[in-house]
Chains A and B, each alone.
Chain A
Amino acid sequence: MTTAHVDRPRKRAYRAPAPLGGRGGSGVQRTRSGGRRSRAALAFLAPALIVLAVFVVWPMISALQMSFTDASGFGEAEWVGLDNYARIFTDPDIRDAVLNTVVYAVLFTPTAVVVALGLALLLTSDRLPFRGMFRTALFLPFIISLAVAALAWSYLIDPQVGLLHYWLRGIGIDLGNVLQDPTLAMPAVALVAVWKNFGFYMVIFMAGLQEIPGSLYEAAKMDGANAWTRFWRITLPMLSSTTAFVLIFATIAALQAFDQIYVMTGGGPYGNTQTVVMEIYESGFRKLDLGFASALSYVLLLATLVLSIVQFVFFGRREEES
């Protein structure tokens, strides 16, 4: 070694098998002192850790504390115990926002997953021409902002001048003023999110599909299984972990619905598209009811956490299997 590394007597000539990352055990690293490595590591980690500590971990703690107070950003905040949490279940508007979010997730997640899986199946078929081109085109909506998508779709379904509205009426479907319609507004905003996100899920499904050994299909074909049977008996079971991943991922995204709703309906009509994040934004930044916004944030956090843990457990198991 040519480093100007002063040999200290404390230096361990041999380090016991690394208790940590497991990936260690490289001859070179063993000869270096743990302290020196730790200092190097700390220098590399410090910028990111400071940002995460100040803007993620600390806010999380402070939101929890705030959620038990009537903080408004001005004056002394008073301790109110569980009042804010109680309000989530008693205030009909808030209860509706929570329910709306669930409805949104129920509309968005399965639709996005089915569309994505269907297109992924078609796009991995080697009989389809121009697959690369189709893949790029279908992925394109994913890089468009939901706000822009919301403006474009609002125009398309505008009851007076909307092109899509006009075309649909041409084939006998009159949707009327979709965004002012209490039953249609929610499906409409959910579909805009499906439009934006299916390409992302599709690409993940395509990766999953490529992992299924072709020999399984060959064997099934020899046994006379038709395409339908092959899909249900081979594709779906072999794809189950990918599907689970996408389902949970999409559900987590659904819980955060905001952008297109803010643009298209503002939560209306009659609060029918008001979601949890819309409510957090309004109570936190319009009404300055910070305590309540924090409590609601924690409900969102817990829901996301539960879904993430399910996902984590699922994937932990899968990785062990593979």
Chain B
Amino acid sequence: MSVTTPAPVRAPAHAPAASPRRRRRVRASTVIMTVGVTVATLVALLPLFIVLFTAFKPTSEVNAFPPTLLPDAWTTANFERIFSDLPFTRLIGNSFVFAGGVTLFAVSFDALAAYALARIDFRGRKLLLVAIVATLMIPFQATLVPVYQIVSDLGWVNSFAGLIAPRAADAFGIFFLRQFFVALPRDLDNAARIDGASEFRVFWQIILPNARPAVLTLAIFVFVNNWNDLLWPLVFTTDREMGTITSGLTQLTGPGGIVPYGVMMAGSLVAVVPLVFAFMLVQRKFIESIATTGLK
């Protein structure tokens, strides 16, 4: 099951039998539909345009009335200010280490566990799978207080260990990859086992390469979620230097209570650009696997 861009087979442009009147009516509804979707798309993209254009506006224009979408005079002043108002280089680095670290650990650990649950026939497998799926139902917000206590007891507050370790594996990833691994043909690994390959070799050289799209999707999903997360870095970092872009942006305040929108939008743009690029590279596969996991 997959969402391909709706049927490549185009319906034969309205059967020649249709009367001219009917043909025109169909065209009119197509136009309405297209306009409707275009408007919805523009509304969906408006905040992104605002981030993009405001980031390059001088402060006078950011706070001008009447407001405009496009800058008159383009400037990079907001970008210069975000680096002086916040330890921004540090925050960008932190975001990469935190989101990248969680992704690296979680995808590795999830894949290993998923392999065992999907391809090794051991006693208690089904029960374990049910137990892992059950933990899917626990929202991280509900265990935040005790998790913080553990992290704090370990002395890991304001450290990457504290940010990353609690998320180094997650039930969703295990379940997601397990579903994918189970669907791969059995003969693949059995042949290798007959040849004497160890379980790890089967995992590394046969299952993983065949599951690349699923692994990539999970990796992007985990990376984006952590990069974007606000509550997590707010809780586990109290030191400004240890925050992420996302948490740092929410701590920007201007002099005299004036919200520094220009600086915020410049920072937001920096926060958004890596994700948009990553997404554009793999968007089709990514959207398709999300659609399928949503259902299965």
Contacts and interface: CB of A to CB of B under 8 A. Distances in A.
Contacts of B190: 26-29
A314 interface: no
Contacts of A44: 112-113, 115-116, 120, 199, 203
A107 interface: no
> Chain B interface residue count: which class?
35 or more
Main secondary structure of the interface of A (DSSP, over half): helix
A34 B123 contact: yes
A297 B165 contact: no
A137 B44 contact: yes
A48 B169 contact: yes
Interface string A156-182: 101011111010000000000000000
A316 to B, nearest CB: 12
Interface in A295-312: 297-298, 300-301, 304-305, 308-309
> Chain A interface residue count: which class?
35 or more
A2 B196 contact: yes
Interface in A2-48: 2-3, 18, 20-24, 26-29, 34, 37-38, 40-45, 47-48
Interface of B: 1-7, 10-11, 26, 29-30, 33-34, 36-38, 40-41, 44-48, 50-51, 54, 62-69, 108-110, 112-113, 115-117, 120-128, 132, 135-139, 141-150, 152, 165-171, 174, 182, 186, 190, 193-196, 199, 203, 224, 227-231, 234-235, 246-247, 249-250, 259, 261, 264-265, 268, 271-272, 275-276, 279-280, 283-284, 287, 290-292, 294-295
Given A145-B229, A206-B6, 19 more contacts: A20-B124, A23-B182, A40-B199, A41-B120, A44-B115, A45-B112, A55-B166, A56-B135, A128-B37, A138-B41, A139-B287, A140-B276, A143-B224, A147-B246, A152-B265, A160-B65, A208-B295, A293-B145, A304-B139
18 contacts: A1-B196, A21-B121, A29-B193, A48-B110, A52-B169, A127-B26, A128-B34, A136-B287, A141-B44, A143-B276, A147-B249, A163-B67, A206-B3, A206-B6, A262-B231, A285-B235, A297-B141, A298-B142
